[in-house]
Structure 1
Amino acid sequence: MDPNGEYLFRIRTVKAAPIRTLSEALKEILTEANIEIDQNGLKIMAMDGTHTVLVHLRLHADRFDEFKCAQKYILGINMINLFKLVKTMSNNDSLVMFMEKRDTTKMGIVILNGEKQMETTFHLNLIELDINPIEIPPVQFSAIITMPSLDFQKIIRDMSTLGETVEITSASNQLILKCRGDFAEQETVFSVGQGMAVSKPSAEIVQGNFLLKHLVLFTKCTSLCSDISVYLKNDYPIIIEYSVAGLGEIKLALAPAPSKQGHGKS
């Protein structure tokens, strides 16, 4: 794996800025998580503390500039502490993650800046997490919609100032978002041909109510890609999928809001 055989795994990418963005989004949703690393790539499958949000991240080994890992390792990470280390990374930086054979209680992080000839190394303490593996059965979604990530971010942020929940409806070739608050109501309709595409149109009306505070956190991933995929099914969590700058994908699932939440602010 390496000339001196000192690493259990070593990963390198020039896409340091997207990894910073991803870390910032994840630490808002997950305080702690197990990161699974094997020869195929890097994976996180975890639920938030409220058991309302599911995070499924997969970064593929062959899309990194270097990915050397002979077997599977599970790393318990405090996501807030991880972000504290990588938040200074810029667009010109490269990122290296590694684990040394001599100390498996830490994950090494190296931030490289070729222009400044500067190299910064951190050793992040790993934590023991007693988390049961999550298995998700295959699901046939009623509607799959592709739309600009910036449009979705704007609508969700705007609506979060009006109310607590958003009603999301897919009908024919339209995606309709409605929010009702104490002082105003908002309805925004996206139609095919306005930057939106329906890859799996449904004859049935698919509808659900979701808490905006969680969707606002999802939109912290906006800068990772230009378009998102929205997966909808009646009486089922909504899934928002972002591409992670070509390295892989992150799917964020949000359970429907309890009916007692209504539409308005309390």
Structure 2
Amino acid sequence: MRLVTIQASAFKSTFETLKDILNDVNIFFRPDGVSMCTLDVARTSLVDLFLAKENFEEYECDEEEIICGVNIANTFKLFKTITNTDVLTLSIPPGGKEYLHIEISSEAKKQSSKFDLKLLDIDESRIEVPEIPNDQIVSTTLPSTDFQRLCRDMSNIGSEIAIARKENVLKLQCEGDFANQETSIETCERIDTSFSGTYSLRYLNIFTKATAMCSTVSLMQETNNRFLILKYNVANLGELKFYLASKQQG
């Protein structure tokens, strides 16, 4: 397995976000790309990452599946050295199961750093991503910096946020001991069905750290109100989705 990308900073931003909610996880390298699908430690949220092979400068994976068990925090310590002009190369030699070889290089600096990351044997159950029919979900796209700021500001008031979409208005509300806040945002698209749910601001403040890698975020809600999905583009490599369980049903 070998991949090369000039969008190294996207890997750095992804692992920086994930290190606060995930510990040891399996990353899957398959012929169609790179994926990760796992629950957080508290089993409250699901993380779904997919980076398609065609979006890399180079991508080779001759095996049906290669499983790499890594510690997210330790992997980020290596990716932390990445700068905007760096090229990232990840590789595992045929039959190699002990190390993930990482190379961070810069043509401008005439510099290259190589790391061998020890792989972990993680006994992790495979998670199936919930399938949602298109007619049971509504998506609202916002500037990611605006949504991050709203979540951060509301966490100063309360611990939960109510998100509701009706017609062409997205409404965000929170209640606290000393104040309540309600923010309404007009959207371009009008819908016929209303969607609403209440979610943990602590988790949303972690998820919105992904703002650094994407200028917009899609808030996706379903009619059954089981969870909220936040979808970020990982630069031009693929998508990172967070599924956060609703605090209330109905």
1:157 aligned residue (152, 155, 159): 152
| Structure 2 segments unaligned to the other structure (5+ residues) | none
Whichever residue aligns with residue 252 of structure 1, its letter is: F
2:85 aligned residue (87, 92, 95): 92
- The aligned residue for residue 145 of structure 1 is 140
Given the alignment of the two structures, is residue 66 of structure 1 paired with residue 58 of structure 2, yes or no?
yes
Could you tell me how far apart the structure 2 residues matched to 1:99 and 1:25 are? 25
- The aligned residue for residue 166 of structure 2 is 171
**Alpha-carbon distance, 1:18 to partner:** 1.4
Q: Residues 1-266 of structure 1 correspond to what in structure 2 (within 5 A)?
A: 9-71=1-63, 72-101=65-94, 103-140=96-133, 141-192=136-187, 197-198=188-189, 201-233=190-222, 234-257=224-247
Query: For residues 137 and 166 of structure 1, do their structure 2 counterparts lie closer, same or farther at Cα, with a shift above 3 Å needed?
Result: closer
Does the aligned pair in 1 maintain the 2:164–2:195 contact within 8 Å?
yes
Q: Report the TM-score, using the length of structure 1 for normalisation.
A: 0.89
Aligned residues: 245
State the secondary structure of the residue aligned to 1:190.
strand
Consecutive aligned runs of 4 or more in structure 1 exceeding 3 Å deviation: none
| Structure 1 segments unaligned to the other structure (5+ residues) | 1-8, 260-266
Q: Report the TM-score, using the length of structure 2 for normalisation.
A: 0.94
State the secondary structure of the residue aligned to 1:28.
coil
Percent of residue pairs bearing the same amino acid type: 35
Does the aligned pair in 1 maintain the 2:141–2:217 contact within 8 Å?
yes
**Alpha-carbon distance, 1:102 to partner:** 6.4
**Alpha-carbon distance, 1:241 to partner:** 0.3
Does the aligned pair in 2 maintain the 1:142–1:202 contact within 8 Å?
no
Whichever residue aligns with residue 136 of structure 1, its letter is: V
Does the aligned pair in 1 maintain the 2:34–2:52 contact within 8 Å?
yes
Kindly provide the CA deviation profile for residues 169-227 of structure 1, in whole angstroms up to 9, marking residues without a partner as x: 011101100011111111111102xxxx44xx532321111000000011010121221
Kindly provide the CA deviation profile for residues 61-84 of structure 1, in whole angstroms up to 9, marking residues without a partner as x: 000011111111011111010001
